[in-house]
Structure 1
Amino acid sequence: MAAAQAAHWQWENAAAGSVAGFTTVTFSHPLDVVRTRFQVNDGQNPHLPSYKNTRQALFTIARSEGLRGLYGGFYPAVLGSTISWGLYFFFYSKAKQRYLKNRDELTPGLHLASAAEAGGLVCFLTNPIWLVKTRLQLQTPQHLTQPYSGFHDALKTVVKDEGWKALYKGLAPGLILQVSHGAIQFTAYEELRKFLVNSRFEQSVLISNSADLLTTIDYATLGASSKLAAILVTYPFQVIRSRLQQRPGIDGIPRYVDSWHVVKKTAKLEGVRGFYKGITANLLKNLPSASLTFVVYENILNMLTLPRAD
């Protein structure tokens, strides 16, 4: 009976995560496009447009490329985000259930292990989707190569022209990013949440359900705070991954060979600032998104009156 309830709880977490991911990516995608274009612009590629700041980039893309430019790669972004959040919450809750055996509660280390495990699995399963998203977002009128007509055309063309291994470009920094980012974010979220619940519980011992102790504003603040901590630590890996996932030029030669090549070239030409290009757009996109994601996630669980695996 307990096993059946645990499995039910895991699938409900996957559903809650998927809905949350779909909701947030719909509103934040233009900022994702801007972030990606800033990340890959090393000043050495004449076919990539340059922008002064996030606001100017949004207006320039809207004026020269329209909604098609602002929502380039939208389908794989929605697909990837929905699948990623769903799988992440599923694997994360499954890991927590496993670690909870013979324990009353999880330690910070076990929260970290659960998040890291979930992040690694999600990254491996979704890397091809993110590679296609990055390439579609970078398609501009200045590109000389034949543009991809859409998600499926991009997948077929990548495999045809570069081989199936190309679908996993950026996997190494992606794994480090996904595992460390998710681990930092979820550990911070869980520990901050636990602190709030304990402090509120001391003030209101008559409330037995921890969900009743926290408000929507609490969930939004917790989501944004934990996301900020994760972004500041892991952002350079996003830049490395985006640069590796760029489409090769008409000569078929990629701009970067591997992660170490990206690190050396970026450090030499751009310094530390090069590893944080696009972070403003990233913060504008992800802090509100993280708040909304956890508000949706927690409230869906509350509506279903499901217990959390704390």
Structure 2
Amino acid sequence: MSTEAPKRDQWQWENATAGAAAGFATVAVMHPLDVVRTRFQVNDGRVSNFPSYKNTAHAVFTIARSEGLRGLYAGFLPGVLGSTISWSLYFFFYDRAKQRYARNREGKLSPGLHLASAAEAGAIVSFFTNPVWLVKTRLQLQTPLHQTRPYSGVYDAFRTIMREEGFSALYRGIVPGLFLQVSHGAIQFTAYEELRKVIVDFKSKGSTVDNQNPDKLLNSVDYAVLGATSKLAAVLLTYPFQVIRARLQQRPSGDGVPRYMDTLHVVKETARFESVRGFYKGITANLLKNAPASSITFIVYENVLKLLKPARRND
């Protein structure tokens, strides 16, 4: 019996494990900036229950002073859970898609197929993780100015949302979330793969390293540069989807009516009152968080993968 299928499945689970470790490390380090970003995103200047921050540094200082460390790490548990699940599933399905596309192409993929692989993985991950991101957003937006009873934790948030708004509320923001996950991941991973090829080609000139194992040419600095650069490209092109999703996922007011009814309503209201600038609120905190966060993610992912490869070969 051929052992090819078990080896391929094992390789995919190694990618999933490495992705999960990368996601956890990223959130643990960068979460306070995620809280700041979310609060900037939903503050349209017309809502009284959100504090007004001058800039990212002022936001961090204000939250730390008025809410303490708990405020800076609001939504941390669903953030860790969502990021770990998201990265794990993303790398798993991304690797599966690449293997499927590469079967009849001698293992070589074009930028278009890298894009298709990333988009496919992103679409699948969106449906699994949207409820977790919604709860994270709700917890991050709880401030001392809120009049409604705050959620006491992740379980209470899920239970209260289901009781007050129904199951469908867990999928508020799924449309922009789907566009975000597909486009963001596709752009980031395509840029990562193509830049990786450039670096490998450059380093391989005059190198005695086996061309069948180009990973030996790359180190953590390379992974950091690749991760930050690819993330920067993805953030700049897809950020408005993040703002739209965050605004849709806000908790309804006391009368139970959501501030924004759907994606089109968010777009119309934001364009009307805030113009293009409104779609990029919080982008400074987002870049400060995601450029180094993506570096951490890919450093952890690639190095965990290297640790797992010898174990696979020894089985």
TM-score, normalised relative to structure 1:
0.97
Whether 1:155 and 2:162 are equivalent positions in the alignment is no
AA aligned to 1:265 is E
The one of 59, 68, 89 aligned to 2:61: 59
Whether 1:261 and 2:249 are equivalent positions in the alignment is no
Q: Offset of 1:134 from its aligned partner?
A: 0.1
- Cα distance in 2 for residues equivalent to 1:212 and 1:115: 24
AA aligned to 2:142 is Q
- Cα distance in 2 for residues equivalent to 1:107 and 1:237: 27
What do the CA deviations read for 1:171-220 (whole angstroms, capped 9, x no partner)?
00000000000000000000110111122223314434201111211110
- Cα distance in 2 for residues equivalent to 1:37 and 1:94: 36
How do 1:244-283 and structure 2 match up within 5 A?
Answer: 244-283=248-287
AA aligned to 2:224 is A
Contact 2:36 2:60 in 1 (8 A): yes
Q: Offset of 1:4 from its aligned partner?
A: 1.2
Match of residue 231 from structure 1: 235
AA aligned to 2:95 is S
- Cα distance in 2 for residues equivalent to 1:205 and 1:98: 31
Unaligned runs of 5+ in 1: none
- Cα distance in 2 for residues equivalent to 1:176 and 1:80: 17
- Cα distance in 2 for residues equivalent to 1:193 and 1:304: 21
Match of residue 196 from structure 1: 199
- Cα distance in 2 for residues equivalent to 1:284 and 1:305: 32
- Cα distance in 2 for residues equivalent to 1:74 and 1:203: 47
Q: Offset of 1:3 from its aligned partner?
A: 1.3
The one of 13, 16, 40 aligned to 2:15: 13
| 3-state DSSP of counterpart to 1:255 | coil
Match of residue 24 from structure 1: 26
Q: Offset of 1:283 from its aligned partner?
A: 0.5
How do 1:208-227 and structure 2 match up within 5 A?
Answer: 208=211, 209-227=213-231
RMSD: 1.1
- Cα distance in 1 for residues equivalent to 2:266 and 2:120: 26
What do the CA deviations read for 1:60-114 (whole angstroms, capped 9, x no partner)?
0000001111111011000000000000000101111111112121111111111
- Cα distance in 1 for residues equivalent to 2:152 and 2:303: 38
| 3-state DSSP of counterpart to 2:205 | helix
The one of 136, 140, 162 aligned to 2:139: 136
AA aligned to 1:143 is H
Whether 1:176 and 2:187 are equivalent positions in the alignment is no
AA aligned to 1:252 is G
Aligned residues: 307
Distance 1:121 1:206, change over 3 A: closer
Contact 2:209 2:217 in 1 (8 A): no
Contact 1:201 1:207 in 2 (8 A): no
Whether 1:207 and 2:190 are equivalent positions in the alignment is no
The one of 302, 305, 308 aligned to 1:301: 305
Whether 1:112 and 2:137 are equivalent positions in the alignment is no
Contact 1:95 1:117 in 2 (8 A): yes
What do the CA deviations read for 1:125-146 (whole angstroms, capped 9, x no partner)?
1100000000000001110111
Q: Offset of 1:304 from its aligned partner?
A: 2.3
| 3-state DSSP of counterpart to 1:305 | helix
Contact 1:10 1:94 in 2 (8 A): yes
Match of residue 98 from structure 1: 100
Among the aligned pairs, what percent are the same residue? 68
AA aligned to 2:113 is L
- Cα distance in 2 for residues equivalent to 1:292 and 1:62: 24
What do the CA deviations read for 1:252-307 (whole angstroms, capped 9, x no partner)?
11110111110110011111110000001001111001001101111111222369
| 3-state DSSP of counterpart to 1:304 | helix
TM-score, normalised relative to structure 2:
0.96
Whether 1:48 and 2:50 are equivalent positions in the alignment is yes
Contact 2:115 2:190 in 1 (8 A): yes
What do the CA deviations read for 1:147-168 (whole angstroms, capped 9, x no partner)?
1010011011111101100000
Contact 1:189 1:223 in 2 (8 A): yes
Match of residue 167 from structure 2: 164
Contact 1:207 1:213 in 2 (8 A): no
What do the CA deviations read for 1:238-259 (whole angstroms, capped 9, x no partner)?
0000000000000111110111
